[in-house]
Structure 1
Amino acid sequence: MLVNAAGPWSSKLNRLAGIGGDFTVEVAPLRQEVHHVPAPLRLGDDVPIIADADLGIYVRPDAGGNLLIGGTEPACDPLEWIDDPGAADPNPTVARFEAQILRGARRLPDLGVPNRPRGIAGVYDAASDRTPIYDRTESDGYFVAMGTSGNQFKNAPLVGSLMLAIIEGVMRGHDHDADPITFTAPHTGHRIDLGAFSRKRPLNSVTSGTVLG
């Protein structure tokens, strides 16, 4: 039994293993930048998380009185799909830094715009509908936890439990494709249809279609 949880390398690993012929959702590496700036003094330490789809940014607090500003993939920003995650430049670019920080300054007018970009770049394992794939595959014993699209860190403590439910069910002979397994959340009792994360699902049309999920 194997679980492909290789992040931005997951699609390449699938291709090496001959997996993915029945996927209806595409997954590919997407480079993104998050920028680091001092927070306006008036905000103090009580900075909320802001998601501004109109300006195409999100803002969240960082330690030491700073902010992190990232993009929500607005239509005016070209998406940076890449072939080799290992070759992605980890440094922020001037153009993307200036665009996102200036957008942040429109929401927070006293936000300073540093002369030099600060931040980090990384690579998302992005699904075409920004919904993850937690599923079996056409190969018995080969499972995937992929397409996390930069938003599934919020669900990380639960993902292992979802995968365990799928793996145990499938390995016992349950046809998860025809009759999706459900998982009952231990604290809320909410029943989760794990078919929502199927590799064969119709594209999810009710998400934001961005890193926000």
Structure 2
Amino acid sequence: MGIEALLLIPFSIKLRFFNKEQKLIYIYLITSLVAGIAMYLAAKVYRNNMLVVSVSALLQFVILTFFYLEVIKSPRVRKLLQVMLAMACVVFVLDLSVWEGFLEFNSIFVSFRAFLLIVYGVIYFLQLMRDESLIEQSIFINSLPTFWFNAGIFVHSCCAFLFNLCYNFIQQGGPAEVLESMYKITASLAHFSAIIQAILFYIALLKIKGNRT
């Protein structure tokens, strides 16, 4: 929660310069902060915040999918993203109601979500590398705010994917010491990746100019 709260200050100051995809990242940060608060309160009051975790993951995925729909140019890929968004919603409902339930960590859905975000990130990186218009204008991809936003999402999704898979094994049961070690390692990676994401988002913010470039 603290990272998102700190990031929102400089983001809010520069909000008037944001284009649509940058505003979506701003909404993503707000959602992350609100979700963190809701998870904390649910854990304190109900001793179980898994439903809040799952709903928050879905909302963040929807926001980030719209971000990629803005930055990815290929009509075919954009249509595929829309299909994947609908499929993710179906997986969310099934995981919540049939597979794992709303009192358990919905590792199937969140793993599927993280995997899709990794794929979206790779697609956008490839788009930037092949974008002839950037080459013609002598624009370096690391000067683009979306490059850094995508890098932050990609790093965090990769580490979250490992954590989600680990949690799936934990819920299935197994040797306690092994599971505890897996959890500590992957949870540490996930928390560290959130810090890296915040740093990359801040670099992206520095790339946003007053003329909305």
TM-score (ref. length: structure 2): 0.25
* Structure in which a larger fraction of residues adopt strand: 1
* Structure in which a larger fraction of residues adopt helix: 2
For CA contacts below 8 A with separation 6 or more, give which structure has more relative contact order.
1
TM-score (ref. length: structure 1): 0.25
Computing the radius of gyration from Cα coordinates, the structure with the larger value is: 1
